[in-house]
C-alpha cells in the first residue's frame, strides 16, 4: 500500500468547545492546518497546544470561499491528499488507513459518508455523500456561502466513492445563521444561472418566513436551464407548497405538492408532504392512499434532499390514524406497532396503540 502525505485543513472562529474532540478525530493526519478568522475565546491556544498549525486572518466582508481558499493555501505543496473538515465534525477512527487503501496517484477527489444530523436516538437523520477530500493542486472553493469545490485542471476529474470513511456533524445550534441570507443573495447576484444557490436562496427565504420571496425564487430556480436534478426540483416544488400553505392558499399548496410527486416519483418526500396536508384536513382516505404509495419506495437514497420525517415513525403514525378512521382496525394496529417500534419513547403513540387494540374484534 502506497504511503501518502495527508493534511487536514479547516477554518474556525470561537469554537473552543469542539477543539479537543476535533483534534482527536484528525490526529491520524500528518499535519493539521487551521485558519482562525477572529476568535475571541481560547480556540487558537487550544489548537496550538494540541499540535495544530494555526494562522489568524480576519475577512471583511466575510465570505466562506475566500476563507476556505486561504486555509487551503496553508497546506504545503508536497501534500498528496487534503482533507477539509470543520471543527464541529468528527471523522470516525481508522479513516487514514482506509483513505490510503482507496486512493491512488490518479485520484482527484473522494466522495464519502456524511451524517449531517442525528435523531433523538442517535441514529443518522440526514445522510449523504460529501466531497471534501481532494488532491492538493487542482481545486478551489467557490461561492460566498454553501461553498463548493471545483476542479480547476483541464481534462477529466477522477473521483472515487466509499462508505468506509464517515464524518459526523455535531453542530452548535445556538450559533446564529443570519449572515446566510445576505451571502446567498450575493451568491445569486454573482452567478444568477447557478441552480444550486438559487434553490438554497429560496430555502433560506422560507426559513426566514419570507413566503413571497421564497415562492418567487423557487419559480426562478425551476426555470433555470441548469436546474435539471429532479430531487432538488421536487424540493423547490414542495417548499413552494409549504409557503403557499403558510399564506392560506389551499389550491396552490395542493397543486405544488402534487407536482412534486410527478417531478420525482422515486422519492418519498412529495407523497408524505401531500399526505400530511390531507391528513390535517381530515381527508383520511386520500392521505391513506398516498402514504401507501410512499411505502412502496423502500430504498433511501444518499442525497441531502432526504427528509427524515419520511423515514422515521411519521408515516406509520399517520397511517395508523387514517386506517383507524377508515375502520381498518387490524391494519391500523400493524401500523401503530411499527410506529412505536421506531419511536418507543412516545407516550402518545403507546396510548394510540392501546386505543386501536381495543377496537379489534376478538
CA angle at 122 for the pair 121 and 124, rounded to the nearest 5°: 115
Are residues 211 and 147 both part of a single domain? no
Are residues 123 and 210 both part of a single domain? no
Are residues 18 and 136 both part of a single domain? yes
Instruction: Give the span between the Cα atoms of 259 and 237, in whole angstroms.
Output: 7
Span 66-89, pLDDT tens digits: 999 999 999 999 999 999 999 999
Residue linked to cell 441531502: 304
Helix (H) or strand (E) holding 36: strand 31-36
Q: Is the pLDDT of residue 362 over 60?
A: no
Span 16-32, pLDDT tens digits: 999 999 999 999 999 99
**Which CATH number is 59's domain given?**
3.90.550.10
List alpha helices for the chain, DSSP H: 19-25, 43-49, 64-73, 95-102, 179-190, 195-207, 211-223, 230-247, 250-263, 269-280, 284-295, 314-325, 329-342, 347-358
* Helix orientation angle between 269-280 and 314-325, rounded to the nearest 10 degrees: 40
Are residues 191 and 302 both part of a single domain? yes
Are residues 149 and 80 both part of a single domain? yes
Domain that holds residue 201: 179-358
Q: How many residues does the chain have?
A: 362
**Which CATH number is 213's domain given?**
1.25.40.10
Instruction: Give the count of domains, the chain.
Output: 2
Instruction: Look at residue 1 and tell me if it is in a domain.
Output: no
The band of 2, judged by pLDDT with boundaries at 50, 70 and 90, is confident
pTM for this model (two decimals): 0.92
How, if at all, do strands 6-12 and 31-36 pair?
A: parallel
Are residues 156 and 183 both part of a single domain? no
Are residues 112 and 88 both part of a single domain? yes
The band of 339, judged by pLDDT with boundaries at 50, 70 and 90, is very high
Q: What integer pLDDT is reported at residue 143 of this predicted model?
A: 97
Q: What integer pLDDT is reported at residue 181 of this predicted model?
A: 96
Query: Which residues have C-beta within 8 Å of that of residue 251, sequence separation ≥ 6?
Result: none
Instruction: Look at residue 174 and tell me if it is in a domain.
Output: no
Span 252-276, pLDDT tens digits: 999 999 999 999 999 999 999 999 9
Are residues 210 and 114 both part of a single domain? no
Q: Is the pLDDT of residue 176 over 90?
A: no
118, 141, 169 — which closes off a domain? Answer: 169
Are residues 10 and 145 both part of a single domain? yes
Are residues 13 and 103 both part of a single domain? yes
Q: Is the pLDDT of residue 300 over 60?
A: yes
Instruction: Give the span between the Cα atoms of 336 and 350, in whole angstroms.
Output: 8
Span 129-172, pLDDT tens digits: 999 999 999 999 999 999 999 999 999 999 999 999 999 999 98
The answer to whether 231 and 307 have CB atoms below 8 angstroms apart is: no
Are residues 24 and 49 both part of a single domain? yes
Instruction: Give the span between the Cα atoms of 158 and 335, in whole angstroms.
Output: 46
159 - beta bridge partners? 109
Span 81-126, pLDDT tens digits: 999 999 999 999 999 999 999 999 999 999 999 999 999 999 999 9
Average pLDDT, the chain: 96
Judged by average pLDDT, the poorest of 231-235, 241-245, 275-279, 300-304 is 300-304
Span 37-65, pLDDT tens digits: 999 999 999 999 999 999 999 999 999 99
Query: Which residues have C-beta within 8 Å of that of residue 263, sequence separation ≥ 6?
Result: 230, 233, 234, 237, 270
Q: What integer pLDDT is reported at residue 174 of this predicted model?
A: 81
The band of 234, judged by pLDDT with boundaries at 50, 70 and 90, is very high
Are residues 157 and 184 both part of a single domain? no
Span 183-229, pLDDT tens digits: 999 999 999 999 999 999 999 999 999 999 999 999 999 999 999 99
Instruction: Give the span between the Cα atoms of 68 and 233, in whole angstroms.
Output: 28
Grid coordinates belonging to 250: 389551499
Amino acid at each position: 500500500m502506497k504511503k501518502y502525505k495527508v493534511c487536514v485543513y479547516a477554518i474556525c472562529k470561537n469554537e473552543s468547545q469542539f477543539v479537543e474532540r476535533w483534534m482527536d478525530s484528525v490526529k491520524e493526519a500528518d499535519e493539521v492546518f487551521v485558519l482562525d478568522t477572529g476568535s475571541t475565546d481560547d480556540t487558537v491556544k487550544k489548537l496550538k497546544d494540541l499540535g495544530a498549525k494555526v494562522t489568524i486572518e480576519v475577512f471583511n466582508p466575510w465570505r466562506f470561499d475566500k476563507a476556505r481558499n486561504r486555509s487551503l493555501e496553508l497546506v504545503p505543496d508536497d501534500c498528496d491528499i487534503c482533507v477539509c473538515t470543520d471543527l464541529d465534525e468528527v471523522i470516525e477512527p481508522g479513516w487514514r488507513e482506509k483513505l490510503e487503501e482507496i486512493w491512488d496517484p490518479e485520484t482527484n477527489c473522494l466522495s464519502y459518508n456524511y451524517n449531517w444530523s442525528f435523531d433523538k436516538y442517535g441514529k443518522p437523520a440526514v445522510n449523504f455523500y460529501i466531497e471534501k477530500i481532494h488532491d492538493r493542486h487542482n481545486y478551489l472553493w467557490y461561492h460566498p456561502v454553501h461553498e463548493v469545490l471545483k476542479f480547476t485542471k483541464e481534462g477529466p476529474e477522477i473521483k472515487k466513492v466509499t462508505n468506509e470513511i464517515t464524518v459526523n456533524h455535531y453542530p452548535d445550534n445556538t450559533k446564529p445563521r443570519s449572515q446566510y441570507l445576505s451571502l446567498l443573495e450575493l451568491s445569486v447576484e454573482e452567478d444568477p444561472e447557478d441552480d444550486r444557490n438559487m434553490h438554497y436562496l429560496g430555502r433560506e427565504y422560507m426559513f426566514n418566513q419570507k413566503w413571497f420571496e421564497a415562492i418567487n425564487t423557487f419559480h426562478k430556480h425551476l426555470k433555470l436551464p441548469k436546474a435539471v436534478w429532479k430531487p432538488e426540483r421536487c424540493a423547490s416544488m414542495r417548499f413552494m407548497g409549504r409557503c403557499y400553505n403558510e399564506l392560506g392558499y389551499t389550491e396552490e399548496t395542493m397543486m405544488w405538492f402534487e407536482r412534486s410527486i410527478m417531478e420525482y416519483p422515486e422519492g418519498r418526500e412529495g407523497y408524505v408532504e401531500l399526505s400530511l396536508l390531507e391528513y390535517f384536513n381530515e381527508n383520511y382516505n386520500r392521505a391513506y392512499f398516498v402514504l401507501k404509495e410512499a411505502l412502496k419506495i423502500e430504498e433511501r437514497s444518499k442525497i441531502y434532499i432526504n427528509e427524515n420525517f419520511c423515514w422515521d415513525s411519521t408515516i406509520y403514525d399517520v397511517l395508523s390514524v387514517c386506517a383507524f378512521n377508515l375502520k381498518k382496525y387490524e391494519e391500523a394496529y400493524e401500523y401503530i406497532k411499527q410506529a412505536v417500534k421506531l419511536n418507543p419513547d412516545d407516550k402518545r403513540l403507546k396510548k394510540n396503540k392501546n386505543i386501536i387494540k381495543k377496537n379489534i374484534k376478538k
